[in-house]
């Protein structure tokens, strides 16, 4: 799938910017616009099955994180999962429809301790997501400490340069789920991480 996306991105009319499949989109605009498109089409007696399906799959991608963690850890109740990134995209503190919130709530509901770090959106998350049950860390490295799994949720550039070797040693179980197809799988393996992607 990664090779297909890379091939598509070679076409300058498409480009590579938004071809990293993963957790799906967040933010207010695309969700609002696609919902409006479906409703407006219905007002004129038209169906928009591709747009409706895209919206459904986008939501399901968040649920797949929990499924992947269950597949790896088998039992997640009582485990600790760290989230790297909270904002719906890098270089913003915007939390509107951010996948991190749905993922955190689903995990907390299953008895998981959720830790998280975001370089910009932490204070806003503490305020807006006060009821989510997330324990916030001071650094990205702290997310791995004692974790049974770490999930990359937002593709902040600085996450590529973390000390993944030290983080693997501090984790209870060095398993990383790359929700954005963003990190170098070979480097993670060399650093001691078991690695999976959405």
Catalytic residue annotation: 29
Which of 137, 154, 75, 60 lies closest to 107, judged by CA? 75
Report whether 143 contacts 85 (CB < 8 A).
no
Is the separation of the CB atoms in 121 and 88 below 8 Å?
no
Contact indicator for 68, 58 with CB cutoff of 8 Å: no
Both tokens of 121, joined, read 């959106």
Distances (CA, A) of 153 to 43, 49, 80, 82: 36, 28, 16, 10
**Is there a contact between 23 and 62 (Cβ–Cβ < 8 Å)?**
yes
Taking each helix axis as running N to C, give the angle between helix 99-109 and helix 49-73, from 0 to 180 degrees, rounded to the nearest 10.
40
**107 φ/ψ angles, rounded to the nearest 5 degrees:** -70, -45
Residues paired with 113 in a beta bridge: 80
């Amino acid at each position: 799938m990664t090779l297909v996306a890379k091939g598509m991105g070679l076409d300058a009319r498409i480009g590579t910017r938004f071809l990293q499949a993963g957790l799906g989109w967040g933010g207010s605009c695309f969700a609002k616009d696609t919902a409006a498109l479906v409703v407006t089409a219905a007002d004129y007696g038209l169906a928009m099955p591709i747009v409706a399906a895209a919206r459904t799959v986008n939501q399901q991608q968040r649920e797949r994180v929990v499924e992947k963690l269950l597949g790896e850890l088998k039992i997640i109740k009582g485990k600790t999962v760290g989230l790297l990134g909270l904002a719906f995209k890098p270089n913003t503190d915007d939390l509107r429809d951010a996948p991190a919130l749905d993922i955190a709530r689903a995990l907390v509901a299953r008895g998981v301790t959720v830790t998280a770090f975001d370089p910009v959106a932490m204070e806003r998350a503490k305020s807006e997501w006060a009821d989510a049950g997330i324990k916030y860390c001071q650094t990205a490295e702290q997310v791995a400490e004692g974790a049974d799994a770490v999930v990359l949720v937002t593709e902040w550039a600085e996450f590529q340069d973390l000390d993944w070797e030290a983080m693997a040693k501090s984790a209870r179980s060095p398993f990383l789920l790359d929700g954005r197809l963003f990190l170098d799988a070979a480097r993670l393996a060399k650093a001691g991480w078991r690695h999976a992607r959405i």
